[in-house]
Amino acid sequence: MDWSGFLFVSGLSLLALALMQALTWVWSRKVGKLAVVDVVWGAGFVVVGVVALAAGSGDLTRRVLLAALVAVWGLRLSWHIYRRSQGKGEDPRYTELYGEKGPLEAALRVFGVQGLLQWVISMPLQASAAADATEGLWWVVLLLGVAVWATGLFFEAVGDAQLARFKADPDNKGKVMDQGLWAWTRHPNYFGDACVWWGLWLIALSAATWGTAWTVIAPLAMTHFLRNVSGARLLEKSMSQRPAFQEYMQRTAYFFPRPPRT
């Protein structure tokens, strides 16, 4: 593990994310809503993947693989959120949390915090960029990581597409989505997001060094936020007031998929 190389990549990643979030704040001032920060969530990790690929000193094959996988996931997510947000006003969550804050305080709390989270969660990409090549049986770990990543992308992309089709049908207005993957878990997109980062961490771990193992904080943090803080928990707080959702909760798993109860 080249620690000086890791620090170099990590520092460049932090600077790139700070610049990206500053530009996003300018964008938010122009359109008058903080919710644009969600659009660049996935794209920020793509930026780190590019930095790790270009400035890293570690195994080139793994750097290319990680950059490609992050790009597929991150660009799809950013494009999906961008299309979904077109024609809509401010997200009520941001109005409730930051509506009374001044522009500078809101910028630090929204864009500053998100940039910092992107930097911490992208640690597997940064550390792997300075790690040696995968050898021997560690290739099994790398392939397992790709499989977990693919599973996550499937749940996230297919779940988003199923929900979009459901909402596009006027006959479903006021109903609860409980079909397809949404019959197996109430949050297939958030579950898929978590799997993506566990897969990326396993790929980084395939370098077979403690220099990448400690970055397990990334998928742990991502899973915690998605399941317990800003993702599923926050969404269910608003949805649980609907009687149909109460019944849906009784027969469908909260986060980790399982067959629906009858």
Contacts of 228-233 with C-beta under 8 Å, sequence gap 24+, read 231/187, 231/190, 231/193, 232/186, 232/187, 232/190
Determine the distance from the C-alpha atom of residue 136 to the mean position of all C-alpha atoms in its chain, rounded to a whole number.
31
Q: Give the per-residue pLDDT at 100.
A: 65
Per-domain boundaries in the chain: 1-133, 134-262
Q: Return the H-helix or E-strand segment holding 202.
A: helix 188-205
Cβ atoms of 134 and 207 within 8 Å: the answer is yes
**Residues in the chain, total:** 262
DSSP 8-state assignment for residue 215: G
Q: Residue 172, Cα to own-chain centre: how many angstroms?
A: 28
Q: In this predicted structure, what is the pLDDT of residue 118?
A: 96
| DSSP-derived 3-state class of residue 256 | coil
What pLDDT shows up at residue 236?
81
C-alpha–C-alpha distance, residues 216 and 204, integer Å: 10
The pLDDT, as a whole number, for residue 153 is 98
Q: At residue 206, what is the residue type?
A: S
CA angle in degrees (0–180, nearest 5) for 237-242-244? 120
Please give the Cα distance from 19 to 185 (Å, whole number): 37
Name the 3-class secondary structure at 252.
coil
Local confidence pLDDT in tens for the 262 residues of the chain: 788 899 999 999 999 999 999 999 999 888 888 888 999 999 999 999 999 999 999 999 999 999 999 999 999 999 999 998 887 776 666 666 665 666 677 778 888 999 999 999 999 999 999 998 888 889 999 999 999 999 999 999 999 999 999 988 888 887 888 899 999 999 999 999 999 999 999 999 999 888 899 999 999 999 999 999 878 887 888 777 777 888 888 899 999 999 988 7
Q: What's the pLDDT at 99?
A: 59
The structure tokens listed for 75 are: 């660009």
Distance CA 163, CA 3 (A): 44
H-helix or E-strand spanning residue 163: helix 138-168
**Under 8 Å CB-to-CB from 260, ≥6 apart: which residues?**
178, 183, 184, 251, 252, 253
User: Using CA atoms, how far apart are residues 58 and 107, in angstroms rounded to an integer?
Assistant: 35
pLDDT for the residue numbered 95: 63
pTM to 2 decimal places: 0.91
Determine the Cα–Cα distance for residues 74 and 42; give it in Å rounded to an integer.
4
